[in-house]
Structure 1
Amino acid sequence: MAGSNRNGLNRRELGRLAAGAGLAGGALSSGVVRAAGAAGSMTRPFPDKFLWGCATASYQIEGGVHEGGRGPTIWDVFSHTPGKVANGDTGDVACDSYHRYPQDVALLKALGVSSYRMSIAWSRIFPDGRGKPNAAGLDYYKRVIDALHAAGIEPYVTLFHWDLPSRLPGEWQNRDTAYAYADYAGYTARALGDRVRHYMTVNELRCFTDLSHLQGIHAPGLKLGAKAVNQVRHHGVLAHGLGVQALRANAPSGTQVGIADNTVIYVPVMETPEHIAAARAATRAENAMFLTAIMEGRYLDSYLAGAGADAPVVKPGDMAAIGSKLDFLALNVYAPEWARASDNAKGYETIGHLPQSPHMASPWLYVGPEVAYWAVRHASELWHPSTIYISENGSSADDQMINGRVDDVDRVMYLRNYLGQFHRAIDDGFPLKGYFLWSLMDNFEWADGYTKRFGIHYTDFATQQRIPKLSAKWYSEVIRRNALV
C-alpha cells in the first residue's frame, strides 16, 4: 500500500511534485517518473492475476419466479403494484436466465473472464425466508455453479441482493430478519461448501434500507420516520455481521468473505492536502451508519449525537458482530460526490450535483471518473483492507440496435475512463485485485424496469436473444491484453 505523509499526499504525488520542481534526480522522484511513464504508456497493463469479471443479480436476470419451489419476494409484490415500476414491468421473466443460464455462461466464457459475481435468491433456498429448505432451489444453483466451473470461471456469490422473502414477518423492520438471514447464510455455506470459495454477504446497504424505507422508491416502498429508518439500517448491518459469523462457522476453511457496498465516495474538489483530508473525513462520516460501522465495529459518536433520540437500539454483542473481520472489501462505484475543506465543526462541506453536471442515461449516474481512484484510496487509507474488489462499475445507455449492431461508444467512453482511474489506484500501490463489470447483459433495472440498459450484451426481451455490443468486444480485448485499451 502506498504510504501517505502527514499532509495527505502519497508517495506518488510527492514524486510528481518533486519532478515538477526539477528534482528528478532523487531516488523517490526517479522511481515515480518510471511509474508515471509506465502508467502513461499505450499498454497500461494491470497486475498479473488481476481478476476480470462481470456481475448480475438474481431478481434482475432469472425470471422463473413461480418455478422450482421459489417463494415470493418483496420485489415480486412491489413490481406487481401499479405505479411502482416503469411501464408496469416485473421480473417475472427478466432475462429468463433460470432456463438460459448455459447461454449466459457461454457469454462469460467468450469474454474471457475469470470470475462471475452472481447472487442467490434467498427465497429459492428458503421459500418462507426460514424453516424448511427447498432442495430444488439449491439444485438449481449447483447446476449454475457447476457450469461456471466447467467453463473455468470462479463464482463470487452474493447472498442477498435485495430480493427479500416477503413471508418474513416485519421484513427489515423486524430484528429477527437479521437472524433469519444468518440461518440462510450458514445453510447455504454448508450446502455449497465444495463449490463456492468467495461470498459477499449483502449488496448495497443504503439501497435496501434508505431507498426502500426512507424514499420509498424501491421495495417495499415505505417512507418511514428517522428512528424507524435508523433501526432498519441497524438491522441491515447486523444481518451482514451475523452472516459473516455464520459463513465462518459453516464454510470450509479458506473461504473468503466480504461485502459489496455502494459507499458514498467524496472526491476532493482539488488535490491539495486540505481538500484530500476533507474528502476522506466526509467519506468516513457520511457512511457512519453503514460501511464505517462495519469496518470500525462501532457507530461514530458524531452519528449517534446527530441522531439523538432517533438513534438505533443496539443490543449487547451487536457491534462485535457488525465489525466481524472481512477477508476483502468490495465496492460498487458509479457516481461521485465532492467535498472541500471547511472551518466548520466537521472540517468539511459537501457539494451537491449541479443540474448541468454530465450524466449517463440514468439521471443519477453522474460522470466523474476520479471517484474510481478515490473509492479505492479512501477505503485503503481509512480501513486498510488487505484486498479490494470493484464489485460493480458500469453505465446505462440508450442503446439502439442498428443493422444488427449496438455501437455503444458512450459506454466504452465511461468504462475506459473509470478503468483508467482504477489503474491509477493500483499504480499508487493500493490493493485493488479485481473488477466486476455491471452488467453482463441488459436486465430488469429495478424501479426503471426495462427502460435502462446496463449490459454489454444487448437483450432482446421479446426473443431473449443476447447480442454482444461494442462494449463487450472492447472489454474482451481489455481482458485479453490485461491492459487498458
Structure 2
Amino acid sequence: MDHDSTDQLILPDGFLVGTATAAAQVEGGVAAGGRTRSVWEAFSAEPGRILDGSDTSVTTDHYHRYREDVALMSDLGVDAYRFSLSWTRLQPHGSGALDAAGVDFYDRLLDELLAAGIAPFVTLTHWDLPVEYTGGWLDRDTAARFGELAALAGDRFGDRVHTWITLNEPATVTLNGYALGLHAPGQSLLFDALPTVHHQLLAHGLGVQALRAAGVRGQIGITNVHSPVLPASGSPDDQLMAVLFDLVHNRVFADPVLLGHYPQVPAELADLFGSLAEVPAADLATIAQPLDCYGLNYYMPSRVAAGAGDGSSPDGSSAAMAAAPFRLLDLDGYQRTGFGWPVAPEFLSVTLTEMAHRYGAQLPPVYITEGGASFPDVPGPDGTVADDQRIDYLHRHIAAALAATCPGGPAEELDLRGYFVWSLLDNWEWAAGFSQRFGLVHVDFDTLVRTPKASFRWLQDVLARRRQALGRPPVAAHRGQR
C-alpha cells in the first residue's frame, strides 16, 4: 500500500505516541528473583487452555533484553512506553514487602526509559493475579490487596512514572476470565461473574487513593476496552440484547468510575444485575475518585443478536456463550485481522463520540492506550517483514481518532492526548499463545531475534516528520506532573 507524501499522517503538537506491552506477555523470567506463580502460569498449565500449548516462561524475554527493547523504542522515536508490573515479581505470593530483585528490574527499566527520553506509563496489573488469591476478583479482599500493592509501588517508583494506570481492561477480565472461561482463571459463570466488576472497580479506587497518599508525581487513570454496540436488526429483542451487551462491556465499568453510580438497567434485565443493584455508597465514592486521565482501548465494534450462540462467535470459542441470551455476529464487508476482527476505524470515531456525549465534563483527558492488529507476518527472503496491512490499520485508526476530536469533529469536546500502538513486540497472546502477531517488531520465538517490520519504519518516519516540523522534541515526551 502506498503511503507517500500525498497521504501522510500529520500528528499535532503535543499528541503523545507510544507503544504498549504487558508483563505476562513479554517478560519471561518467571523464576527470576523471588517471583512466584501468577494465575496465568496456573491457567496455561491446564491442558487445552492455550492454543499452541505454550506458556509464559520465556515469551520475548524482555526481562533480560529490556535494554535492547528500549533501544528499539528510542530508534523508533516514540514519546512513551506503557508496560505493566508483574504482581508476583514485585510482591511474591501477593503479600508482604517488595522483592529486591523485582524492584531492581523495574528500577533499571524506568531509568533506561528516562535516559532515552521515553515517558513511562505504568499499569499496576494487566490481567495478573497471584495464585494465592484463590477467589480472585470474586473475593472483595482482592481489592484491598491491590490497594496495598499500589501503595508499595507508588512509594518506590512514584518519582519516575509519567502516568499510572490502575487496571487494564476490567471488562475483559470479567467477560473472558470469569464469565466465559477463555482467560485465567478460566471460570464460566456468565452473569454470576458480575461481582468481579465491583471488586475490580473498588480495587481501582483504593489504588488511586494509595497512589495519591504516596505522593506520586505522575498522572493517575484507568484503562478499559470500549466497543460500540450494533443491534443485528431493528427487532425489539435484538435492540434489547444490544443494550445488554453495551451495559456489560462498557457502561458497568465506565459509569461508576466517571459518574459515581452504576447505569440504570431496563426492567427486563434487572434480575441479571442483582449483585450490582445495592452496593455501599462508600464503595461508589471510593470508585469515583477524581482522575487525571482515562485510558481507552479500541479494537472493534460488536454486532449483537438475541438468542444463544453455538460457542463459536467472534468473542472466541466458549461453551458458556451457548448459554448466554445473546450472540455476537460477524460484521460483514470489512477486512479482517488474524483474529478475525473487523478493521473498522470509523467505529473508533463512534466510540470517542459516545464517550464524549455520555460523560461530558466528567470525562478527563483521554489516551487511546491500546490500538493495533494481528496479522500473519512472515519475514521475506531478505529478512524484512512487509506488514502493509498494519501500516494501513494504524494510519486509518490514528487519523480517525484525530479527525473525531478536532474542532468540528463529532467528539471535539473530548480532550485526546495520545495513541499507544499494541504492541511493541510480537508476544505471547494469552490463550492464543504465539499464534497471533501484533508487534511493530517481529520476534523469532525460537531465537528471540528482533526485526523491525515495515510498520516500525513507517511510524518512525511519521514521528521524524513531526520532530522536523516542530524543530524540537515533542513536549509530550517529557516527564509530566499532575
Task: Give the alignment's TM-score, normalised by structure 2.
Answer: 0.83
Deviation for aligned residue 1:417: 1.4
Alignment-derived partner of residue 28 in structure 1: none
- 1:425 equivalent in alignment to 2:409: no
Task: List aligned pairs for 1:40-439, cutoff 5 A.
Answer: 42-43=7-8, 45-227=10-192, 229-252=193-216, 254-266=217-229, 287-302=250-265, 306-308=269-271, 311-312=274-275, 314-337=279-302, 352-354=329-331, 357-363=334-340, 365-384=341-360, 385-403=363-381, 404-427=383-406, 428=409, 429=412, 430-439=414-423
1:250 is matched by which residue type in structure 2? A
SS at match of 2:52: helix
SS at match of 2:130: coil
SS at match of 1:287: helix
Q: How far apart in 2 are the matches of 1:460 and 1:358?
A: 26
Q: How far apart in 1 are the matches of 2:396 and 2:250?
A: 26
Change (3 A) 1:66 1:308: same
CA contact (8 A) 1:336 1:367 kept: no
Q: How far apart in 1 are the matches of 2:107 and 2:248?
A: 41
| RMSD over aligned Cα atoms | 2.6
Q: How far apart in 2 are the matches of 1:64 and 1:42?
A: 42
Q: Which moved more, 1:420-429 or 1:56-65?
A: 420-429
Q: How far apart in 1 are the matches of 2:246 and 2:59?
A: 35
Deviation for aligned residue 1:147: 0.3
Q: How far apart in 2 are the matches of 1:305 and 1:92?
A: 46
Post-superposition Cα deviations, 1:14-45, rounded to whole Å, max 9, x if no partner, equal: xxxxxxxxxxxxxxxxxxxxxxxxxx975553
Deviation for aligned residue 1:301: 2.5
Give ranges in structure 1 of 5+ residues lacking alignment. 1-39, 270-278, 341-348
SS at match of 1:288: helix
Q: How far apart in 1 are the matches of 2:443 and 2:54?
A: 15
Deviation for aligned residue 1:211: 0.3
Deviation for aligned residue 1:285: 8.0
Post-superposition Cα deviations, 1:398-419, rounded to whole Å, max 9, x if no partner, equal: 1111121110111112111112
Deviation for aligned residue 1:283: 5.4
Q: How far apart in 1 are the matches of 2:464 and 2:348?
A: 22
Change (3 A) 1:135 1:172: same
Alignment-derived partner of residue 439 in structure 2: 455
Post-superposition Cα deviations, 1:29-79, rounded to whole Å, max 9, x if no partner, equal: xxxxxxxxxxx9755532212101100000000000011111110001111
SS at match of 2:165: strand
Change (3 A) 1:240 1:397: same
- 1:445 equivalent in alignment to 2:429: yes
Task: Give the alignment's TM-score, normalised by structure 1.
Answer: 0.82
Q: How far apart in 2 are the matches of 1:391 and 1:163?
A: 18
Q: How far apart in 1 are the matches of 2:220 and 2:253?
A: 17
Change (3 A) 1:43 1:413: closer
Deviation for aligned residue 1:222: 0.8
1:358 is matched by which residue type in structure 2? Q
Change (3 A) 1:398 1:225: closer
Give ranges in structure 2 of 5+ residues lacking alignment. 233-241, 306-325, 468-482
Deviation for aligned residue 1:132: 2.9
2:375 is matched by which residue type in structure 1? A
Q: How far apart in 1 are the matches of 2:43 and 2:151?
A: 28
Deviation for aligned residue 1:316: 4.0
Q: How far apart in 1 are the matches of 2:404 and 2:304?
A: 19
Q: How far apart in 2 are the matches of 1:440 and 1:481?
A: 20
Post-superposition Cα deviations, 1:191-238, rounded to whole Å, max 9, x if no partner, equal: 1122113100101111111101111010011112523x1111211111
SS at match of 2:202: helix
Deviation for aligned residue 1:247: 1.3
Change (3 A) 1:350 1:387: farther
1:151 is matched by which residue type in structure 2? A
Deviation for aligned residue 1:137: 0.7
Deviation for aligned residue 1:184: 0.2
Post-superposition Cα deviations, 1:345-395, rounded to whole Å, max 9, x if no partner, equal: xxxx999434665321112x2111112212222212222323110100001
Deviation for aligned residue 1:266: 3.8
Q: Which moved more, 1:318-327 or 1:149-158?
A: 318-327
Post-superposition Cα deviations, 1:408-458, rounded to whole Å, max 9, x if no partner, equal: 111112111112201212322331111110000100000000010000110
CA contact (8 A) 1:267 1:371 kept: no
2:99 is matched by which residue type in structure 1? N
